[in-house]
């Protein structure tokens, strides 16, 4: 195991979207130099634990990492190059909001070394964007996509479906428009109500309702069908790409490869002395940065995973992928067989895969398989 993926978390956003339960925060003022130094320090901490590794992907996520300055992105990438060997084809992704302010920085991000951008477009409909609490409108998103296409070798964008009142016909038309704008990768997420979000409160109050289960299933199936026909099949529950254009960084998670997570709330999985180790950084931005300034890292927990935990995590991650996983030990037939007979899993030799129906309700499938 020599390959390593690196995740860098930038926890700040301009405003908090009502559906979002990510570790993202709004602050009036950010001392960017201080934040830059802290990220660099934590990279050094993890580099000391992972000598001799080759970095194959770097992912700036958040939060809204496109609010970072290009100098900070460049400083992080320079430090990574100084600390580890970098694969010549290293994939360097930055998540960005499609606002004009951020699009204006794309060339600088490119010059800093970013070669892939993932844009949070979310909808090609102004009413839907307003409902989702997004700061951009459709026209701005289209402009940002245009700049992204001209600036980066690879780009992707996100859409959210199963919005209140959305019909299959309207979603099909929106997907067709998205396909006209897409490169080789699209991420398509189903709207879910996450506890603790503004949407959770509004939904409980009855301010809006999500489409019923039948409509949700039809919207999911439409997504699978339409994007497959267009040559962008699902390679993961919510991610679609032309074969070969998958996000290599996210594949590292789902294939259960090693990754370092730096920044507030970031998680990592590292194979150290033959054992899989889970790492977790302090979640609150201020607590994290204080810890880094005090001790060189903001790690809250480092845990050696048991063989059972490793097996469960491999299944949870691998079954998200259309390619499935190679089983290293047989599963109990009493658990497995009904899921195969029900059309949720397939077993081909030692390769276990979730069918599209299985991937759509993966949590329920996993609960039957491993709980």
Stretches 18-26, 82-90, 160-168, 359-367: which one binds ligand SF4 (CB under 6 A)? 18-26
Q: Which is nearer to ligand SF4, 16 or 79 (CB)?
A: 16
Q: How far is the CB of 19 from ligand SF4 (least distance, A)?
A: 7
DSSP letter string, 37-73: HHHHHHHHHHHHHSTT-EEEEEEEEES-GGGS-HHHH
Q: Which is nearer to ligand SF4, 46 or 288 (CB)?
A: 288
Q: Is 343 helix (H, G, I), strand (E, B) or coil?
A: coil
Q: How far is the CB of 133 from ligand SF4 (least distance, A)?
A: 7
- What is the distance between the alpha carbons of residues 347 and 326, in angstroms, rounded to a whole number? 10
Q: Which of 6, 17, 251, 366 binds ligand SF4 (CB under 6 A)?
A: 17
Q: How far is the CB of 289 from ligand SF4 (least distance, A)?
A: 18
Q: Cα-flanking dihedrals φ and ψ of residue 233, to 5°?
A: -65, 160
62 scored as a contact of ligand SF4 (CB under 6 A): yes
64 scored as a contact of ligand SF4 (CB under 6 A): yes
Show the binding pattern over residues 115-144: x = contacts ligand SF4 (CB under 6 A), - = does not: -----x------------------------
- What is the distance between the alpha carbons of residues 358 and 34, in angstroms, rounded to a whole number? 45
Q: Which is nearer to ligand SF4, 50 or 97 (CB)?
A: 97
Residues 6+ apart with CB under 8 A from 305: 275, 276, 277, 278, 313
93 scored as a contact of ligand SF4 (CB under 6 A): no
| Tokens found for residue 247 | 């996000």
Radius of gyration of the chain from its Cα atoms, rounded to whole angstroms: 21
189 scored as a contact of ligand SF4 (CB under 6 A): no
280 scored as a contact of ligand SF4 (CB under 6 A): no
Stretches 32-40, 60-68, 140-148, 151-159: which one binds ligand SF4 (CB under 6 A)? 60-68
Residues 6+ apart with CB under 8 A from 97: 14, 64, 66, 67, 119, 120, 135, 136
**Interface ranges with ligand SF4 (CB under 6 A):** 13, 16-17, 20, 22, 24, 62-64, 97, 120
């Amino acid at each position: 195991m020599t390959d390593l993926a690196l995740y860098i978390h930038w926890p700040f956003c301009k405003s908090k979207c009502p559906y979002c339960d990510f570790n993202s925060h709004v602050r009036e003022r950010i001392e960017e130099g201080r934040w830059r130094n802290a990220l660099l320090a934590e990279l050094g901490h993890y580099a000391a634990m992972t000598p001799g590794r080759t970095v194959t992907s770097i992912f700036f996520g958040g939060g809204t990492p496109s609010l970072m300055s290009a100098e900070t992105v460049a400083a992080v990438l320079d430090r990574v190059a100084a600390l580890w060997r970098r694969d010549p084809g290293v994939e360097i992704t930055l998540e960005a909001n499609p606002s004009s302010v951020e699009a204006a920085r794309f060339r600088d991000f490119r010059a800093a070394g970013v070669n892939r951008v993932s844009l949070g477009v979310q909808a090609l409909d102004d009413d839907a964007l307003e409902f989702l609490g997004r700061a951009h409108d459709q026209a701005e998103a289209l402009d940002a996509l245009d700049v992204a296409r001209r600036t980066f070798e690879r780009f992707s964008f996100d859409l959210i479906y199963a919005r209140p009142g959305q019909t299959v016909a309207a979603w099909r038309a929106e997907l067709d428009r998205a396909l006209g704008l897409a490169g080789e990768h699209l991420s398509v997420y189903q709207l879910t109500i996450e506890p603790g979000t503004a949407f959770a409160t509004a939904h409980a109050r009855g301010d809006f309702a999500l489409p019923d289960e039948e409509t949700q299933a039809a919207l999911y199936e439409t997504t699978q069908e339409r994007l497959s026909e267009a040559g962008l099949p699902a390679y993961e529950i919510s991610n679609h790409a032309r074969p070969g254009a998958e996000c290599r960084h996210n594949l590292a998670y789902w294939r259960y490869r090693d990754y370092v997570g730096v920044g507030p709330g970031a998680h990592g999985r590292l194979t150290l002395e033959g054992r899989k180790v889970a790492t977790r950084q302090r979640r609150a931005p201020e607590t994290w940065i204080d810890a880094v300034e005090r001790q060189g890292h903001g790690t809250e927990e480092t845990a050696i995973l048991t063989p059972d935990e490793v097996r469960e995590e491999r299944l949870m991650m691998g079954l998200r992928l259309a390619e499935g996983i190679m089983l290293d030990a047989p599963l109990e037939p009493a658990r497995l067989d009904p899921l195969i007979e029900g059309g949720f899993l397939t077993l081909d030799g030692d390769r276990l895969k979730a069918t599209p129906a299985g991937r759509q309700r993966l949590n329920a499938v996993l609960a039957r398989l491993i709980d």
